[in-house]
Amino acid sequence: MRRDFPLLHGPEEARLRAGAAYRLLTASVVPRPIAWVSSRSAAGIDNLAPHSFYTVVSTAPPMVAFTSVGRKDTLDNVEATREFVVNLTPEWLFEQVNGTGTDYPAGVSEFDAEGIAREDSLTVAPPRVAESPVILECRLHEVRPTGNCWVVIGEVLHVAVAEDVLDESVPGSPHVDIHRIKPLSRLGRDEWGLLGEIREIARRPYRD
């Protein structure tokens, strides 16, 4: 038995309101990886914010995308400077990641407000999170307005991986050890996901 919830069809009065639809969707599309995006404003203020609508959109050229739900400081900064950094969110930075989701005024740096150490990036102006184990330095490719959101697509110029989470067992094919990075994910409401059981299975080729 299932309950049905119309969103974009049927009588208007029977459809879920926008807020309820948002909560239902974000509780259904789970777990979601988090792009912890650092950016720098035109005035030179460093911003850091988590975005849980995030994915890889191309591998050649390498590109990632995150979605700004409404206009946020991150979006304004990226449009102004055309650069940003995605910092992986490990379990040991849980409180700091959550803290940077606070709606600080545009003139306040989340790095400073939350006591998060930063370090210089190699190819872009926005800084990295010093304790993040995996860093993606990005150049803006496109901002695509979509509904009430903006999808930000960036070309990944450079990847930096902490040596203690790097797996180089296959020559020429660096890999990240999932057990060591322990990535956080977002679920519904105020729920977060931690790394649980991991299973490996080879993809089966088709045989006629």
Q: pLDDT digits over 99-114, tens only?
A: 999 999 999 999 999 9
Residue 11 reports pLDDT greater than 90:
no
The answer to whether position 184 is within a domain reads yes
Would you say residue 50 lies in a domain?
A: yes
DSSP helix/strand/coil, 30: coil
Alpha helices in 57-100 (DSSP H): 73-81, 94-99
Domain assignment present for residue 200? The answer is no
Burial code of 156-189, b = ≥16 C-beta within 10 A, e = fewer?
Answer: bbeebbbeebeeeeeeeeeebeeeebbbbbbeee
Average pLDDT over residues 122-143: 99
Structural domain includes residue 137: yes
For residue 202, tell me if it sits in a domain. no
Q: Does pLDDT of 170 surpass 90?
A: no
**7 in a structural domain:** no
Which of the residue ranges 10-19, 126-135, 146-155 would you say has the lowest mean pLDDT? 10-19
> 48: pLDDT confidence band, cut at 50, 70 and 90?
very high
pLDDT of 119 higher than 90: yes
pLDDT tens figures, 75-95 = 999 999 999 999 999 999 999
The residues, ordered by sequence, that sit 6+ positions from 158 with a Cβ below 8 Å of its Cβ are 121, 122, 123, 135, 136, 137
Q: How confident is the model at residue 125 (pLDDT cuts 50, 70, 90)?
A: very high
- CATH number of the domain within which 104 lies: 2.30.110.10
Q: How far apart are CA 132 and CA 158, in angstroms?
A: 15
Of 2-6, 64-68, 92-96, 126-130, give the lowest mean pLDDT range. 2-6
Going by C-alpha positions, the residue among 87, 52, 74 that lies closest to residue 191 is 52
The whole-angstrom separation of Cα 82 and Cα 66 is 14
Answer yes or no: is 10 within a domain.
no
Structural domain of 139: 16-24+33-193
- When pLDDT is cut at 50, 70 and 90, the band that residue 14 belongs to is confident
Question: How many structural domains compose the chain?
Answer: 1
Asked if residue 78 belongs to a domain, the reply is yes
Digit-coded pLDDT (tens) for 141-160:
999 999 999 999 999 999 99
Mean of per-residue pLDDT scores for the chain:
96
